[in-house]
Amino acid sequence: MASLIIHVLSVDEKPKEPAVTVFPPFSKDGTIMLVCLAEKYFPDVIKLEWKKNSQTVPEAMVQDEKVKATIMLKVNASTSFDPDHYSCHVTHESLKDVKKYSIPRKTAQLGPVTAPTCPPYTDDKKKETSSLPAFNVGTLAYTLLILKSVTYCGIISILTSKTKSTQVLGIKKRVP
């Protein structure tokens, strides 16, 4: 008689609701920036979106990492901007429904406002500040392309030299 063994993977940690911060809008280079940050959530699958009058704004830029997710939206300063029309919507396993976060009322001001500065990321367990090395994806892509080109050049050089050497040998064999 055949038997079937099933291994079940269980995770002891229960879903943890994200801590969401909606920063006050700030203006930079003729645009108004809206920033919504979610952090300290489990599991690491989360969906953030900006909505204007309950309609999703597709131009928002999302940066998703395992420990936090950020969604930023640039609004043209020449258009009439009303913070009451915008909200950050968060979908996560720990939430029963999509949760809506509004732009802070008392600080929703425009004008020569400087960009908010975020405190350095600290790990709750280590209680020390960690700094991530400056890394540019463009630099990595450029480096990989150069390595690829050098590799192809080397392969073509080897094949060309082998082809020339066999042609030279073939010519020598034909001469009486």
127: confidence class by pLDDT, cuts 50, 70, 90: very low
**5: pLDDT strictly greater than 70:** no
For the chain, how many structural domains are there in total? 2
Shared domain for 145 and 94, answered yes or no, is no
Hey, is 105 helix, strand or coil? coil
* pLDDT at residue 8 is higher than 70: no
- Asked if the model's pLDDT at residue 108 lies above 50, the reply is no
- Residue 89 within a domain: yes
The verdict on residue 130 lying in a domain is no
Listed residue (61, 79, 78) closest to 70, CA to CA? 61
